[in-house]
Structure formats: C-alpha cells, structure tokens
Amino acid sequence: MTVSLARHSGFCFGVRRAIQLALDAAQGGQEIFTLGELIHNPQYVQQMADLGIKVVPSAADIHDSIVVIRSHGITKSELQQLTDNGNTIIDATCPYVSRTHDLVREAVTSGIQVLILGDPKHPEVIGMHSYGDQDTLVVAPGDEIPKLRDNRLCVISQTTQTIENLNDLVSKLLPDLLELRVFNTICLATSQRQQASACLAKNSDLMVVIGGRHSSNTRMLARLCAQYTETIHVETEAELKAEDFMGRQNIGLAAGASTPEETIVSVYNKIKKINGEPDAVTRISEIPLFKEESC
C-alpha cells in the first residue's frame, strides 16, 4: 500500500496568520476572546481554549476585553458593537476575505446590485453580505438564481468556492444581462488545494480528506475528490477503521485549510499502522507528496 499527500494540504496563510495573532495576544497572560470559532477545527479550537483563548458567540457578550476577529471575518454591525463595547480589536480576518468586503461595498456605492456565490449560512458569506444593501443577494451553487433588480450585476464569490461553480453561475447569468462584473475572489490557496487533491484522487483507490466537519473548504475537497474515487472525510485518526483500507493499493490524503499538521501526521501514521508498518513519521515533511506531473 502506498500513501501519498496532496500538495498544499493543511493550514493556509490566512489561518496561520489568525492563529499566530491570537497566540501572540495570549502571551500577555490576559484572557483572549474570539467572536465565533477562530478556525473551523474543533480539536484546535479546544487547544486554544486551554491556552486562554475563548470562543464567545455574540458581540454583545464582550466588553472591555481583547477580541481576535476570526479568519472568516465578522459582520459590519458586529464590528461596530465590539468597538462600542470598549474592546481592543485584533483583526485576523483573512486578507482574501477582507477584499470581498471592499468589493461588495464599492459595487453598492456605485449603484450596482451584488450577487454573492456561496453558502448563505457560512460566517464568511454572512460577513460579506453585511457590507451590501437591501438588494444584495446570496445564491448557493446549483440553486435557482433569484430575481434580479435590473440588467446590471456584480458577482463576488465566497473565497472557498470552486472555479467550476463560479463559471457555471456566470454562464447562466450572462445571456440575460447588459452588464456583468465578475470578481474571482476564490483564494489562491483554495484553488491550489482543490487542483492538487483532484489530481491525487484520479490516481487513488481511496481518498482520505482530513479536517473539521464544519469547515467549508474541507467539505468542498471531500465532494471534489468523491467525483473521482471513493472518499472518506475524517476529523481525526480515531475515525479510521481497518476495513476502510481492505484491498486498497493507492491511498491519497488531502487536508483542509484549517487542519493542523499534527492531525495530518496522526492520520498518516494510523493508516501505516493498519497496514502493518510500524515506522511512524513525526513531521508532515516526512510524508510522501504526490507527484502532480502524472496528471
């Protein structure tokens, strides 16, 4: 059995930055709060809670404290409330997400209706939508396009969407519009991760996608890989069973942008142990990377 890891797996730049900002803030010994989970990985969120970095669900509950804004960003009104409540704010919003806020605001200011492609329940999309106006709409991939205000439109995407979903939406909109502005706001790390994972899936008997079940980009990876081969989505190595690997020859691993390296290492070691190979790795750099040249 061979086990290979897709390139660009694990923490992306935005997640690393958010975690580092929170950890740096916690060095002062004060209790640190995040409005919502800093990243969508329950195991890592618990580790941070043990270091004094606590999750609070509502901006109204935080007063005169140090607050780290999560990588997904927050709404315009939540930011205002945190400020009004006398908090010290450390903005760890991913720069790719911050750019979508600016684009939504600019389009609305120039009088163009905005349509956001993404999951309407995801905190990133909720934050994006808050910078729009009463005519700003959200559509999930594959859903029916809502009624538009006129024949001018600006399309902005959730950063973890696939380029295929964006292309599909644009192709449906274009014939009925006089003016269509499209911003490809899918982040580079997401695109690289999706391409590498799909390439590996095409050459694997089984894909194991590692990451939080509430992580949008991890779920997207699992759906993408499932188009090419059997795929299982796990949060930790404890979910792996020996029968998952019966008769498998080529196993592929991929991990979402909020998956810690130690979790990837643990999953790899568990698979090797199931296969009767006692040697374990201690760093992600020791896991064989899939050669994408074969795609």
- Alpha-carbon distances, residue 99 vs 96, 102, 103, 105, 164 (angstroms): 5, 5, 6, 10, 21
Q: What is the torsional sign of CA 119, 235, 56, 25? A: negative
Q: How far is Cα 184 from Cα 37, in angstroms, rounded to an integer?
A: 26
Which DSSP letter does residue 146 get? P
C-beta of residue 157 within 8 angstroms of C-beta of residue 186: yes
Q: How far is Cα 276 from Cα 188, in angstroms, rounded to an integer?
A: 38
Q: How far is Cα 245 from Cα 276, in angstroms, rounded to an integer?
A: 12
Is 124 designated active site? yes
Which DSSP letter does residue 149 get? S
Bridge partners, residue 209, by sequence: 233, 254
Burial of 156 from C-beta contacts in 10 A (0-12 / 13-18 / 19+): buried
Residue given tokens 């991939």 in the structure block: 141
Q: Nearest to residue 152, comparing CAs of 173, 138, 124?
A: 173
| Catalytic pick among 37, 78, 124, 235 | 124
Joined together, the tokens standing for residue 125 give 């999309």
Q: Nearest to residue 192, comparing CAs of 156, 228, 149, 224?
A: 224
Which DSSP letter does residue 285 get? G
Q: How far is CA 125 from the centre of its chain?
A: 12
Residues annotated as part of the active site: 124
